[in-house]
Amino acid sequence: MSEENQESKAQNDAPVNIIMIGMAGSGKTTLMQRINAYLHERKTPPYVLNLDPAVTKLPFQANIDIRDTVDYKQVMKEYGLGPNGGILTSLNLFTTKLDQVMQIVDKRAGENKYFLYDTPGQIEIFTWSASGAIITNTLASTYPTVVVYVVDTPRTASPATFMSNMMYACSILYKTQLPFLVAFNKTDVVSHDFAVSWMTDFEAFQQALRGQEDEGFMNSLMNSMSLVLDEFYNHLRVVGVSAMTGQGLDEFFVKIDEAVKEYYEEYKPAMQRQMEKKRDAEREQKKEHLQRLMADLSVTDGKEV
């Protein structure tokens, strides 16, 4: 087998990390349950990890559950924290054991194709915290990793809420810099066609803005933001799904495969270049330190002058 074929086979056999991110009420956890059932039906059961310490009940069985490691309510009580502070601190405490989690993931890599990660509904806690960055970067440095941003489609039907969601999506994409997929959930209630139209046709969004009763500053702001996001839309991967019916999951995994391809073609080479650049900088720094040390000792040919 040629080296190229061996590399292709290794890529096909490698597990895929899918990090689910979404606002509270977006149906993210329910969609996780549906994806879990979908993969079980196809004889490819996923390995499921729950990273939400505040969830009271999961509709699926998690293989690794942060609640088994960290008691969210006890953390709040012990440190005198509110709900968000409790979640953040719980994630920080869990991150200290991330190496153990990765050892388990490595052991299961040959048995499970997909690793699903459910995250807190307070998305800013995960996406903008140091612990969230450590988790995503650690996963992405090991196996192909895709971030899925789940959107509540019915609640995104107005231009203002749509724009808010797209700004969130844009910020998460550029923060993680990982292959990205926007999953418009609840399409059994409202089709996501309007969102696709607004992203691909600037005039369609402008028409929706003109149809609003409220005009003035807000419309002017959204008009400007739609121009800014136009380039973002051109590279955005989008799918419509229903956590209730399972509609769109075939296409969902087609998009996941596309994102995995992007990981190998763009993210991984860029990561390797960054690592090599960092190693070069460290080697240069060590060289400078050695030169300064030699100068301080006034050493020439191994002898003091």
pLDDT, tens only, 76-96: 999 999 999 999 999 999 999
Q: Please name the helix (run of DSSP H) or strand (run of DSSP E) that holds residue 150, with its range, or none.
A: strand 145-152
**Each residue of 99-134: pLDDT tens digit?**
999 999 999 988 999 999 999 988 888 888 899 999
pLDDT confidence tier of residue 10, bands split at 50, 70 and 90 = low
Radius of gyration in angstroms for the set of CA atoms belonging to the chain, rounded to a whole number: 23
- Alpha carbon 268 to chain centroid, angstroms: 15
Note whether 173 and 230 are within 8 A (CB).
no
Note whether 142 and 136 are within 8 A (CB).
no
**pLDDT score recorded for residue 290:** 80
Note whether 195 and 142 are within 8 A (CB).
no
Q: Which residue has the higher pLDDT, 209 or 113?
A: 113
Note whether 225 and 142 are within 8 A (CB).
no
Among 201, 203, 207, 161, residue whose Cα is nearest residue 184: 161
Among 171, 225, 172, residue whose Cα is nearest residue 199: 225
Q: Which residue has the higher pLDDT, 303 or 17?
A: 17
Structure token pair of residue 83: 């709900």
Residue recorded with tokens 């329910």: 30
For residue 305, pLDDT beyond 70 = no
Residue recorded with tokens 């690793």: 115
Average pLDDT, the chain: 87
